[in-house]
Amino acid sequence: MTERISLTRYLVEQQRVDGRIPPQLRLLLEVVARACKRIALAVNKGDLGEVMGTAGTENVQGEVQKKLDIIANEVLIEANEWGGHLAAMASEEMDGIYVVPNRFPQGEYLLMFDPLDGSSNIDVNVSIGTIFSVLRKHHDDPNTAEPVAEADFLQPGHQQVAAGYCIYGPQTTLVLTVGDGVAMFTLDREQGSFVLTRENIRIPEDTKEFAINMSNMRHWDEPVKRYIQECLAGKEGPRGKDFNMRWIASMVADVHRILMRGGIFMYPWDKREPNKPGKLRLMYEANPMGWLVEQAGGAATNGKQRILDIQPTQLHERVSVILGSKNEVERVTSYHSGI
Ligand code: P6P
């Protein structure tokens, strides 16, 4: 039987190939992977552990926090703060940035994460996941002595140096890019390590499967309504083919399906909260997922522009998200420009 390549060996060999993964970034990615293994253990306990239900608190988004949201957040903070690879972290579950305490050395990277995305699915045993994104602290002036601040995080998504997610489903699977394609690592529970199971993942440019929360249809803007109505019209309609629909209400699970077999995922702006550009967060949901999708040959826009080109103005900024099979994303985006 051919020996499986571990995550560590993959990262070391990638570093040898093109130097994309300097030692500090390799350490960061291995520490995040180890944290995800610990989160998986907590998630897998379910009712057997003291981890289910709500924590009785709200996050900065005003959302009720699940116990596991807080556990996952603490696991990621504790795993990453001492290694000397990070200057600071930011999380959906924390109002401001978390600067690495003075008792530890500071590194050059910034780590952002949604520690447990899809947490509305925790109590019903549906796949959830951790999403992470890595930036350099001072992208413009690496030599500055300025202390790290929230403004350092406000970089467009095309400046990410690594991004990925870990999905806690029937398998625990880490999906990662450092800018040279997308690789997938499945947790081998007997060894206790992530092993390479797929690389150079590609998203088909066309699809017959869309993912959107249809209950919001009456609130959508016209271009989104037009696209979905054409999909629903099927063979007899302008698309000339029938479509299937999926909505797991867990972005990690919906995006993973798209990376595995294609599709389009949409969480567009809607008029329920007209002052918000969308529901999902730019820095630690749309940017990492958008880069993964692009690295796999797909596309990711907010309906008007490439998500990775959006200049953030605040840490918890929201965004409209249309991502997946390239030709479908381009079609929806063209409808937004009136074509
Ligand atoms: P809705 C989960 O809370 C999340 O942030 C994404 O993972 C998911 O795609 C979306 O919200 C689901 O939202 O409104 O369908 O429950």
Question: What pLDDT, on a 0 to 100 scale, did the predictor assign at position 2?
Answer: 65
Give the count of alpha carbons within 13 A of 62, CB side only. Answer: 1
Mean pLDDT across 1-11: 87
How far apart (Å, rounded) are the C-alpha atoms in residues 191 and 6? Answer: 10
| Probe residue for ligand 1, chosen from 58, 93, 117 as the CB with the greatest number of ligand atoms within 8 Å | 117
Structure tokens given for 166: 């870990």
Question: What pLDDT, on a 0 to 100 scale, did the predictor assign at position 119?
Answer: 80
Write out pLDDT tens, residues 63-79. 788 889 999 999 999 99
In single-letter form, the type of residue at position 333 comes to T
The sheet carrying 264-267 orders its strands as 244-245, 209-211, 264-267, 321-324, 299-301
What single-letter DSSP state applies at residue 286? Answer: I
Write out pLDDT tens, residues 111-127. 999 999 998 898 899 99
Higher local confidence (pLDDT), 10 or 17: 10
Residue of 204, 214, 231 lying closest to 296 (CA atoms): 204
Question: What pLDDT, on a 0 to 100 scale, did the predictor assign at position 266?
Answer: 98
Residue of 306, 253, 299 lying closest to 120 (CA atoms): 253
Strands 98-99 and 64-66: unpaired
Assigned CATH topology for domain 209-336: D-Maltodextrin-Binding Protein; domain 2 (3.40.190)
Residue of 112, 127, 119 lying closest to 55 (CA atoms): 119
Q: Is 311 exposed, middle or buried (0-12, 13-18, 19+ CB in 10 A)?
A: exposed
Q: Which of the four pLDDT bands, split at 50, 70 and 90, describes residue 284?
A: very high
Give the Cβ contact number of residue 108 at 10 Å: 19
Q: Which of the four pLDDT bands, split at 50, 70 and 90, describes residue 268?
A: very high
Q: Which of the four pLDDT bands, split at 50, 70 and 90, describes residue 1?
A: low
Residue 96 confidence (pLDDT) above 80 = yes
User: CB within 6 Å of ligand 1 — which residues?
Assistant: 117-118, 120, 213, 249-251, 267, 279-280
Contact between 188 and 145 (Cβ < 8 Å): no
Write out pLDDT tens, residues 173-225. 999 999 999 999 999 999 999 999 999 999 999 999 999 999 999 999 999 99
Atom of ligand 1 nearest to the CA of 280: 5
Ligand 1 centroid distance, CA of 220 (Å): 16
Q: Is 62 exposed, middle or buried (0-12, 13-18, 19+ CB in 10 A)?
A: exposed
Question: What pLDDT, on a 0 to 100 scale, did the predictor assign at position 177?
Answer: 98
End-to-end C-alpha distance for the chain, whole angstroms: 53
How far apart (Å, rounded) are the C-alpha atoms in residues 323 and 300? Answer: 4
Q: What phi, psi does 219 have (nearest 5°)?
A: -95, -10
- What residue ranges do the domains of the chain occupy? 7-198, 209-336
Ligand 1 centroid distance, CA of 17 (Å): 38
Residue 228 confidence (pLDDT) above 80 = yes
Q: Which of the four pLDDT bands, split at 50, 70 and 90, describes residue 81?
A: very high
Mean pLDDT across 19-40: 96
Write out pLDDT tens, residues 302-316. 999 999 999 999 999
In single-letter form, the type of residue at position 42 comes to A
Q: Which of the four pLDDT bands, split at 50, 70 and 90, describes residue 333?
A: very high
Residue 140 confidence (pLDDT) above 80 = no
Question: What pLDDT, on a 0 to 100 scale, did the predictor assign at position 28?
Answer: 97
CA nearest ligand 1 atom 9, residue = 251
**Helices 222-233 and 326-336: crossing angle, nearest 10°?**
130
What does the mean pLDDT of the chain come to?
A: 95
Ligand 1 centroid distance, CA of 249 (Å): 5
Share of the chain above pLDDT 70, in %: 99
How far apart (Å, rounded) are the C-alpha atoms in residues 140 and 100? Answer: 21
How far apart (Å, rounded) are the C-alpha atoms in residues 335 and 72? Answer: 39
| Probe residue for ligand 1, chosen from 220, 247, 251, 269 as the CB with the greatest number of ligand atoms within 8 Å | 251
User: 8-22, 153-167, 262-276: which range is least confident on average?
Assistant: 8-22
Ligand 1 centroid distance, CA of 121 (Å): 9
CATH superfamily ID and name for 7-198 = Fructose-1,6-Bisphosphatase, subunit A, domain 1 (3.30.540.10)
Which helix H or strand E contains 332, and what residues bound it?
helix 326-336
Mean pLDDT across 74-85: 97
Same fold, 7-198 and 209-336: no
Question: What pLDDT, on a 0 to 100 scale, did the predictor assign at position 215?
Answer: 98
pTM score = 0.96
Question: What pLDDT, on a 0 to 100 scale, did the predictor assign at position 131?
Answer: 98
How far apart (Å, rounded) are the C-alpha atoms in residues 126 and 56? Answer: 22
Residue of 318, 169, 189, 332 lying closest to 264 (CA atoms): 332
